[in-house]
Structure 1
Amino acid sequence: MKNFYITTAIDYVNGSPHLGHAYEKVLTDVIARFRRLMGDNVYFLTGVDEHGQKVQQSAKKRGIPPQQFCDEVSEEFRALCKKLNISNNDFIRTTEERHKKVVCELLQKLYDKGEIYKAEYKGFYSTRQEQFLQDKDRNPDGTWPEIFGEVTEIIEANYFFKLQQYQTWLVDHLKANENFVFPRYRQKQVLEFLSEPLNDLCISRPKSRLEWGITLPFDEDFVTYVWFDALVNYYTAVIDKPEFWPADFHVIGKDILVPPHAVYWPIMLKAAGIEPPKSLLAHGWWSINGSKMSKSTGNFVDAAEFADKYGVDALRYFMIREMSVGQDSDFSLAQFLARYNAELANNLGNLVNRVLNMTTRFSAGVLPAPEVSEQPEQDLQALWIKTRDEVITLHEGFQFHSALERTFGFITATNAYIQTRAPWTLAKSTEAKDAVLLRTTLATIAEALRLGVTLLQAVMPGTTEKIQSVLGYTAGAVWKDELEWGSRLTGSKVAETAILFPRPEGDKAAKK
């Protein structure tokens, strides 16, 4: 059994969760579930980032202590994980003592090694991004990009981490590990970033300006820079489970690839004598109805409310089906409903009810054994083998959208097989051979349905379980064994009906 450690980014608690947070959780969950199905020993971490100036300011604005503010917002993220059926093993908060302890130990270790020094800094600071800026960060006209918000010039003493001296090592590491970043073209972006000299990283903030953070173990007048604190969470969570380190994948948004995850993090670990993660997976962004997602303008989807209205698995399916991992995509109610109706309700949902209805009508609700294998059955079985092998390969390459397309192609073919065999006509015949074909047809469509939904298990775990239940079937412990065409369902008593994807009523716009 291979150990497999995967993490999401930890979400900053300065605001409530949105669709982007939901997508990252679901994407990581799909990977984690698939690796478990393949037999790996998976440890899946998610959580929240709770320190920093923005949290301190938001708490002050509400007139409550920062810890209370963090407690309230972090619970929203924890609830979202539960709502979306996320199978995380751990939920970490950077205000937890276990995390503070590891951060302080790492800081002290680097300080003792001479990797951290104190110096005066004069320059520009972005409160929104909580980072110091350089002239190269400006727009061509000299202004600051909107992402930085208000930028002020400051002069203050701080502690710096010797980032620059590891630049050559990092470049060599990336060239030796061409799959360090997925998609691979983003690795080229990291190397482009590293083509310019790095500055040493300011890793402290004076308490006179920021109190809400982890106090430096070697100077009580300063707290730790939020990124130097936050990144360590991945290591904190498994420090007592060393078999899981280094992480197999950190799943993150493309906006925090460079420099935090692809530059700061591996260099921090290298300096501390800790092995860097194996890979980073940088996913794209969602727009809403073709425009940038914004709660203030109302161009916003509340993932939890949307899941309540349309179903958790329907939302999970749409996000994974619609976005190619690494690329951007657009979320619109019209496109969601198009996929919901055509693919989930009319294709999969229809197949489920055809199987249940015809088994109830023509076989007293008990699935018969297949008795013959002629061209239609052989064609469907051959398509299954092709589909199964392609889907597994696509999953391993994170091409989940294409894997779902192939899976639903097989479900479409199963519905077409029903039309070819026309069991309603066979049931009217008095010929013995037609009775044999009828029993074979019922067994074949039920087995094809069982197999098809087995491929959906990582993306739609709840739906898979429901369909197995209405087929009167309990899956075995070894997922790969479940992918073999056979007669496992023979003698199973099926339900009379199942409503998996009810028709949405009266929707003209996404739930705001």
Structure 2
Amino acid sequence: MPFYVTTPIYYVNAAPHLGHAYTAIAADVLARHQRQRGEDVFFLTGTDEHGEPVAMAAEQLGIPPLELANRNAARFQDLMPLLTISNDFFIRTTDPEHVRKVQGILVRVRENGFVYEGLYEGWYCPRCADFKTDAEIGPDNTCPIHKIPLVREREENYFFQLSAFQGELEKLFDERPDFVMPRHRYNEARSFLASGLQDVSLTRPRLRWGVEVPWDRSQVFYVWFDALLNYVTALSFARGKQQDLTHKFWPATYHLIGKDILKFHTIYWPALLMAAGLEVPEHVFVHGFLLTPSDDGGEGEKMSKSRGNVIDPFAVIDEFGADALRFYLTREVAFGQDGPVSEGGFLTRYESELANDYGNLASRTIAMILRYRDGRIDDAALDEDLMAEFDGLADTVAGHLDQVEMTLALEEIWKRVRRLNRYVEERRPWQLAKDPEQADELDRVLASLHEGLRVLTVLLVPYLPTSTERLLAALGRPETAFDAARCAPAPVRVEALEPLFPKR
């Protein structure tokens, strides 16, 4: 089955930060894993370049919005290869093809009878680019996300008849309890739906930085409707005008989003697709926030550009490499939950798990095979008790990743990393090497270590693509397909390997 995974598209009102890297890495882990399994994968990311937040940021800098969009979109594009992100396409909402497709789809929504003229009056957050319902307003008419005063707006515009899809959305949620994941996010979306849907603004009359409304050129489309449609529009032109991938990959398998945009992706988005006569995605997976630890030991606050509490992913990559960052972000915070991240936490994970657990295991295993067996593993029998602990591991990891439980999948792998390290201490190959009568046992121990390490490294390919490629080559078994993540020993010759994660 084709597998289509997307990240949200990122606002270009400022440069990328760790939160953007987080979602991109998560989507990349899923895409790489599915490719390992032989699936036909399409992985989309990109930038959201219209709307008031971008226009406001450009105005403060004294430059046109497109200039700011070009500048920051390039930074997001540059970040992807630095993170070793394997996206198949990078969409920009200023792409002319996207603009034309948005106009065409929204004209269809209007022709289907779900657009009308009206007067909007209510509270609006310019940073969220979101009209707030009464239930979404914080103390003293503030935005609960950005902690800034909301703006009272009154404008004539066109409305999307969201309320017409109350029943269809309730049916969707009832029939597909995994439409929104994890379950507590499903409950949140279902609660919003149960409160009753109100029609929402489709267009903005005063803002000029956006996709022009074809039937009324005095208005532009509200940025969320422009942005949400990227997941469909990209498929129609990602491979050029001659190859439309929509029928192959739509509906999307997984949209990965942050919890602050849950309403738009779990309520507005499926309703808009229904209005246009398009299928809804299979799953929307909502992850939590990366938080900065508080001084009093509490949970901390969301890491965000606007609050100035971000960690620079470029700096982390420059010093430690992309694999280290990828590991930390998928390991430290259970995907789907909020959780604190910090430089101190990163260094602890790096030293204790990457350098000591995994890197040291790789170095010791290869060094012992080189020293005691001249770099060769022949047809030695494996330790059956040890290998029994690897039975079913590949299927367990695949099952977790099918549910976007990438932190749980990584923990299953890491349990075996620790087990192999204990095995080294239990069997003490350096002692076996001193006794010629223990030659067969030494062969068995080294072959078991080699095969266990190789299997784990294949399973780690989606998380650590650069390091695992180096290690598998050094182990003499470079194959990365998922079937290779099952114990199948073969004669090999290993090669010396520089430390994968040098200690700092």
TM-score interval, normalised by the smaller of the two chains: over 0.9
1:211 equivalent in alignment to 2:213: no
1:295 offset after TM fit, Å?
5.2
Match of 1:508 in 2: none
1:124 offset after TM fit, Å?
3.1
- 1:86-144 per-residue CA deviation (whole Å, 9 max, x = no partner) reads 11101000000110011110121122233211123333333222233344433466666
- More off after superposition, 297-306 vs 43-52: 297-306
Match of 1:498 in 2: 498
Aligned residue runs from structure 1 range 219-368, under 5 A: 219-239=216-236, 240-241=244-245, 242-258=247-263, 260-290=264-294, 291-292=300-301, 293=303, 299-368=309-378
What is the distance in 2 between the residues matched to 1:132 and 1:413?
53
1:106 equivalent in alignment to 2:105: yes
Taking only aligned residues, the RMSD between alpha carbons, in angstroms, comes to 1.9
- Indicate how the Cα distance of structure 1 residues 140 and 54 shifts in structure 2: closer, same or farther if over 3 A, else same: closer
Q: Equivalent of 1:484, from 483, 486, 496? A: 486
- Indicate how the Cα distance of structure 1 residues 203 and 148 shifts in structure 2: closer, same or farther if over 3 A, else same: farther
Question: Which runs of 5 or more structure 2 residues have no equivalent in the other structure?
Answer: 237-243, 295-299
What is the distance in 1 between the residues matched to 2:305 and 2:93?
26
Q: Are 1:368 and 1:440, in contact at CA under 8 Å, matched by a contact in 2? A: no
SS in structure 1 of the partner of residue 121 of structure 2: strand
Kindly tell me the number of residue pairs found equivalent between the two proteins.
490
What is the distance in 2 between the residues matched to 1:194 and 1:332?
36
- Indicate how the Cα distance of structure 1 residues 229 and 148 shifts in structure 2: closer, same or farther if over 3 A, else same: farther
Aligned residue identity for 2:322: V
- More off after superposition, 398-407 vs 449-458: 398-407
SS in structure 1 of the partner of residue 255 of structure 2: strand
SS in structure 1 of the partner of residue 389 of structure 2: helix
Q: Are 1:369 and 1:440, in contact at CA under 8 Å, matched by a contact in 2? A: no
Q: Are 2:471 and 2:497, in contact at CA under 8 Å, matched by a contact in 1? A: no
Q: Are 2:142 and 2:149, in contact at CA under 8 Å, matched by a contact in 1? A: no
Q: Are 1:117 and 1:160, in contact at CA under 8 Å, matched by a contact in 2? A: yes
What is the distance in 2 between the residues matched to 1:101 and 1:81?
26
Aligned residue identity for 2:62: G
What is the distance in 2 between the residues matched to 1:302 and 1:170?
39
Match of 2:434 in 1: 428
- Indicate how the Cα distance of structure 1 residues 135 and 396 shifts in structure 2: closer, same or farther if over 3 A, else same: closer
Q: TM-score, normalising length from structure 1?
A: 0.91
1:463 equivalent in alignment to 2:473: no
1:294 offset after TM fit, Å?
5.0
Aligned residue identity for 1:393: G
- Indicate how the Cα distance of structure 1 residues 295 and 261 shifts in structure 2: closer, same or farther if over 3 A, else same: closer
What is the distance in 2 between the residues matched to 1:304 and 1:9?
20
- Indicate how the Cα distance of structure 1 residues 150 and 11 shifts in structure 2: closer, same or farther if over 3 A, else same: same
Aligned residue identity for 1:430: P
Question: Which runs of 5 or more structure 1 residues have no equivalent in the other structure?
Answer: 505-512
1:381 equivalent in alignment to 2:418: no
Q: Are 1:167 and 1:198, in contact at CA under 8 Å, matched by a contact in 2? A: yes
What is the distance in 2 between the residues matched to 1:176 and 1:491?
52
Match of 2:240 in 1: none
What is the distance in 2 between the residues matched to 1:430 and 1:9?
61
- Indicate how the Cα distance of structure 1 residues 402 and 358 shifts in structure 2: closer, same or farther if over 3 A, else same: same
1:48 offset after TM fit, Å?
0.5
Aligned residue identity for 1:464: T
1:487 offset after TM fit, Å?
2.3
1:35 equivalent in alignment to 2:39: no
1:412 offset after TM fit, Å?
2.0
- Indicate how the Cα distance of structure 1 residues 246 and 463 shifts in structure 2: closer, same or farther if over 3 A, else same: same
Match of 2:297 in 1: none
Aligned residue identity for 1:283: H
What is the distance in 1 between the residues matched to 2:399 and 2:53?
43
1:443 equivalent in alignment to 2:450: no
Match of 2:241 in 1: none
- 1:442-478 per-residue CA deviation (whole Å, 9 max, x = no partner) reads 22211111111111111111111010122233216x4
- Indicate how the Cα distance of structure 1 residues 355 and 124 shifts in structure 2: closer, same or farther if over 3 A, else same: closer
SS in structure 1 of the partner of residue 119 of structure 2: strand
Q: Equivalent of 2:379, from 369, 373, 376? A: 369
Q: TM-score, normalising length from structure 2?
A: 0.93
Aligned residue identity for 1:491: V
Aligned residue identity for 1:93: R
SS in structure 2 of the partner of residue 474 of structure 1: coil
- More off after superposition, 225-234 vs 393-402: 393-402
- Indicate how the Cα distance of structure 1 residues 329 and 67 shifts in structure 2: closer, same or farther if over 3 A, else same: same
- Indicate how the Cα distance of structure 1 residues 247 and 365 shifts in structure 2: closer, same or farther if over 3 A, else same: same
Q: Are 1:124 and 1:154, in contact at CA under 8 Å, matched by a contact in 2? A: yes
SS in structure 2 of the partner of residue 43 of structure 1: strand
- More off after superposition, 339-348 vs 389-398: 389-398
What is the distance in 2 between the residues matched to 1:298 and 1:218?
41
1:186 offset after TM fit, Å?
1.3
- Greater C-alpha Rg: 1
1:400 offset after TM fit, Å?
2.0
SS in structure 2 of the partner of residue 347 of structure 1: helix
Q: Are 1:127 and 1:149, in contact at CA under 8 Å, matched by a contact in 2? A: no
